[in-house]
């Protein structure tokens, strides 16, 4: 388990539900059966089927896995990340959009609280706009009201995260970013997270780093530990303090991914992996 600065624990591995479409419900059930206890989704129909995650949760509850055994994380996605199927009134003020999206997520997921609620991304690539601050204040209000145990932000730059930590009433407790080996595994953002006690969640660890799997040194390292390449990457992520996400649709890979914590990468190999893509 990992613990953020507000003392809320998170499982050390998370199952991501993006791009699963109509297979979302059975895949979530398979992931939980394999041993995943943290599920990530978003109220964004372009890439997620949040309501189907909820269907899986209802089925799991009937099979003996109640809601309180699972860590549920979803996101507020701004209009610029949605298509015409917004889960809120796109003409409403931003505070109302956040509240409507949040309430819609609770309905989809058949729950009365969330474990983590995340801003899917700032409105622009540089700095934080008035829109970002209004949305963050609305998310903070949900946290203050006890409707979500944690709040966070995704797809954020180091400069944006620095600003948010400096000026927010509540700093994010989680940050979720796409993680490239070629960029030092998002080292600048991870450093800020370490300083502030924020849990860094890394996604696309495999798909964003395909060239690593052809690297002879990486392949030799996996062989040395008797592990697959995916297991090596996930274990590396865990050892440097990251919470990895996997979105595998293969039940065998789900089980293999969860066994990533059954070995330890030596310090010199860890240091090599930190810079291997740069």
- Torsion angle of the four alpha carbons 82, 84, 85, 90, in this order, in degrees rounded to the nearest 10: 80
Please state the pTM of the whole predicted model: 0.97
Task: Write down the number of H helices and E strands in the chain.
Answer: 10, 10
pLDDT of amino acid 270: 97
DSSP, collapsed to helix, strand or coil, labels residue 210 as helix
C-alpha distance from residue 43 to each of 92, 96, 102, 234, 249 (Å): 17, 15, 8, 26, 20
Q: pLDDT tens string for the chain (278 positions)?
A: 999 999 999 999 999 999 999 999 999 999 999 999 999 999 999 999 999 999 999 999 999 999 999 999 999 999 999 999 999 999 999 999 999 999 999 999 999 999 999 999 999 999 999 999 999 999 999 999 999 999 999 999 999 999 999 999 999 999 999 999 999 999 999 999 999 999 999 999 999 999 998 999 999 999 999 999 999 999 999 999 999 999 999 999 999 999 999 999 999 999 999 999 88
Domains of the chain listed by start with CATH number: 10-202 (3.20.20.100)
- The set of residues, in sequence order, having a beta carbon less than 8 Å from that of 96 and lying 6+ positions away, is 88, 89
Q: Which residue(s) pair with 223 in the sheet?
A: none
pLDDT of amino acid 237: 98
Report the alpha-carbon distance of residue 230 to residue 252 in Å, rounded.
12
What is the radius of gyration, based on Cα positions, of the chain?
18
Report the alpha-carbon distance of residue 96 to residue 88 in Å, rounded.
8
Other beta carbons within 10 angstroms of residue 276's beta carbon come to 19
Report the alpha-carbon distance of residue 152 to residue 173 in Å, rounded.
5
């Amino acid at each position: 388990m990992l613990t953020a600065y507000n003392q809320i624990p998170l499982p050390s591995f998370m199952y991501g539900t993006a791009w699963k479409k109509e297979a979302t419900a059975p895949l979530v059930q398979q992931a939980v059966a394999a041993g995943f206890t943290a599920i990530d989704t978003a109220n964004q129909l372009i890439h997620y089927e949040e309501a189907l995650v909820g269907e899986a949760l209802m089925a799991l509850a009937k099979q003996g896995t109640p809601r309180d055994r699972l860590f549920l994380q979803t996101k507020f996605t701004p209009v610029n990340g949605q298509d015409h199927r917004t889960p809120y009134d796109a003409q409403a003020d931003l505070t109302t959009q956040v509240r409507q999206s949040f309430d819609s997520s609770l309905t989809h997921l058949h729950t009365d609280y969330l474990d983590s609620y995340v801003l899917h991304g700032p409105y622009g690539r540089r700095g934080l706009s008035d829109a970002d601050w209004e949305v963050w204040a609305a998310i903070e209000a949900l946290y203050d009201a006890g409707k979500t145990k944690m709040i966070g932000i995704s797809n954020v730059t180091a400069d944006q995260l620095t600003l948010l930590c400096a000026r927010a009433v509540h700093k994010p407790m989680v940050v979720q970013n796409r993680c490239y080996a070629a960029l030092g595994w998002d080292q600048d953002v991870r450093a800020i997270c370490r300083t502030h006690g924020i849990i860094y969640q890394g996604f696309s660890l495999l798909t964003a780093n395909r060239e690593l799997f052809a690297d002879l040194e990486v392949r030799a390292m996996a062989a040395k530990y008797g592990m697959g390449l995916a297991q090596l990457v996930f274990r590396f992520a865990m050892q440097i303090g990251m919470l990895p996400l996997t979105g595998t649709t293969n039940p065998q890979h789900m089980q293999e991914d969860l066994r990533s914590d059954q070995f330890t990468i030596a310090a010199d190999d860890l240091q090599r992996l930190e810079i291997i893509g740069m």
